[in-house]
Amino acid sequence: MNASPPEGLAPPLAVLLELTHRCPLRCPYCSNPLELERARGELATGQWTRVLDEAAAMGVLQVHFSGGEPTARTDLEALVAHAAGRGLYTNLITSAVLLDRARIAALAAAGLDHVQISFQDSEAAGADRIGGYPGGHAKKLAAAREVKAAGLALTLNAVMHRQNLHHLPEMIELALDLGAGRLEVAHVQYYGWGLANRAALIPTRTQLEAATATVEAARVRHKGRLVIDYVVPDYYARRPKACMGGWARQFLNISPSGKVLPCHAAESIPGLSFENVAQRPLAAIWAQSEAFQRFRGTGWMPEPCRSCARAEIDWGGCRCQAFALAGDAALTDPACALSPHHGAVLALAEAESEAGREAFVYRQIGARIPA
């Protein structure tokens, strides 16, 4: 393990603030931890504004206001205004079901730069079932139109999986229809809630190949009008993604109660302890905290990563996935074909995707997670 941060450690490019874990939706792939934090533990407005001051002073460029549902915080406008006043680029990641014209106007007036709205499907019945929130899809459509009318930049976040991939062409049309400048086609990632629901969500290899072809064709067809980002489920890949751009290299997350995390799923890794912005300055946590140092850089790597030419390209893949699939966060991500666990993971993906489970474990406090 590294004892001290690398010389000349750069600040994170972006910080993601999980302002709250409260959310009206119950998506079965939510990126929040299985142990959701309660409202009474959330940082107060003055604590969040101090975090924004510290982030700006460190040289952070972007702040993502996320959750849960960040618009459930009535001080969101004040936080956006504070961040904008510190010169930070502000992005709101929202389900949009609580947004109306007045709230969007207030956020725009506060200096919000960009809104990212998640869609569960291209049509209401599927979307409302997946999100566990009747009427949600119609509210999202209305809010997306208001965001455009307010002159804000809009990204659609299409979270894709086995139960909605047949609607990928319609999702792309929806993004065009709503005037989004960017569409993120993000296959579900399997940690936390997504992992608990993997058997109901993981696509077949045939579906994944069709989706990739659809995205590639749409990128060409809509060039200059719509940018399409594409995040694949790497169970079927030969090499893993550089999760978070490498552990503790570019990003950090802060939980509703102020815990500073190297990624949204980091609490799924046993044995790591996370410091809190209420107790220590953000810059000191970024540079020195044990959880950030644990997998920063390449010093922690085992073989085959240690001697691999891609060690500083994918940084050994995803630590949370290594723990979830191989039982040890300090191993090569089993999404890598060079990992001894890769074959078993691939077989699991194929078996679960063909078995056809449909029922979800919805995200909620007290949900019963199957072993």
Q: In the complex with ligand FES, which residue's Cβ is closer, 9 or 330?
A: 330
The verdict on 254 binding ligand FES (CB under 6 A) reads no
The verdict on 326 binding ligand FES (CB under 6 A) reads no
263 interacts with, out of ligand FES, ligand SF4, none, CB within 5 to 8 A per kind: ligand FES
The verdict on 331 binding ligand FES (CB under 6 A) reads no
Nearest to 260 by CA among 17, 38, 23: 17
In 77-235, beta strands by DSSP E = 89-94, 114-119, 153-160, 182-187, 227-231
Judged by CB under 6 A, the residue of 97, 156, 195, 263 near ligand FES is 263
77 interacts with, out of ligand FES, ligand SF4, none, CB within 5 to 8 A per kind: none
The verdict on 51 binding ligand FES (CB under 6 A) reads no
| Least distance CB 186 / ligand SF4 (angstroms) | 21
92 interacts with, out of ligand FES, ligand SF4, none, CB within 5 to 8 A per kind: none
CB 116 within 8 A of CB 155: yes
Interatomic CA distance for residues 369 and 366, integer angstroms:
9
Instruction: Say which residue the tokens 């959310």 belong to.
Output: 23
Q: In the complex with ligand SF4, which residue's Cβ is closer, 115 or 336?
A: 336
Q: In the complex with ligand SF4, which residue's Cβ is closer, 330 or 361?
A: 330
Interacting residues toward ligand SF4 by CB under 6 A? 239-240, 304-305, 308, 310-311, 314, 316-317, 332-333, 336, 338
Interatomic CA distance for residues 108 and 117, integer angstroms:
15
b/e map 241-270, b = 16+ CB within 10 Å: bbbbebbbbebbbbbbbbbbbbbbbbbbbe
Interatomic CA distance for residues 328 and 317, integer angstroms:
13
Which range, of 16-24, 50-58, 160-168, 263-271, touches ligand FES by CB under 6 A? 263-271
Interatomic CA distance for residues 112 and 132, integer angstroms:
28
Q: Which H helix or E strand runs over 1?
A: none
Q: In the complex with ligand SF4, which residue's Cβ is closer, 227 or 338?
A: 338
Q: In the complex with ligand FES, which residue's Cβ is closer, 186 or 243?
A: 243
Tell me the Ramachandran region of residue 225: left when phi exceeds 0, alpha when psi lies from -120 to 50, beta otherwise: alpha
The verdict on 30 binding ligand FES (CB under 6 A) reads no
| Least distance CB 309 / ligand SF4 (angstroms) | 7
Judged by CB under 6 A, the residue of 97, 265, 331, 349 near ligand FES is 265
Q: In the complex with ligand SF4, which residue's Cβ is closer, 139 or 310?
A: 310
Binders of ligand FES among residues 141 to 200 (CB under 6 A) are 191
Cα→Cα distances 6→3, 167, 314, Å: 9, 46, 18
Q: In the complex with ligand SF4, which residue's Cβ is closer, 183 or 305?
A: 305
Interatomic CA distance for residues 281 and 299, integer angstroms:
26
Sorted by sequence, the CB contacts under 8 Å of residue 337 that are 6+ apart come out as: 238, 239
Which range, of 43-51, 176-184, 212-220, 241-249, touches ligand FES by CB under 6 A? 241-249
Find the DSSP H helices in 178-231: 192-196, 198-201, 205-221
Using CB under 6 A, list all residues that contact ligand FES: 191, 243-244, 247, 263, 265-266, 318-321
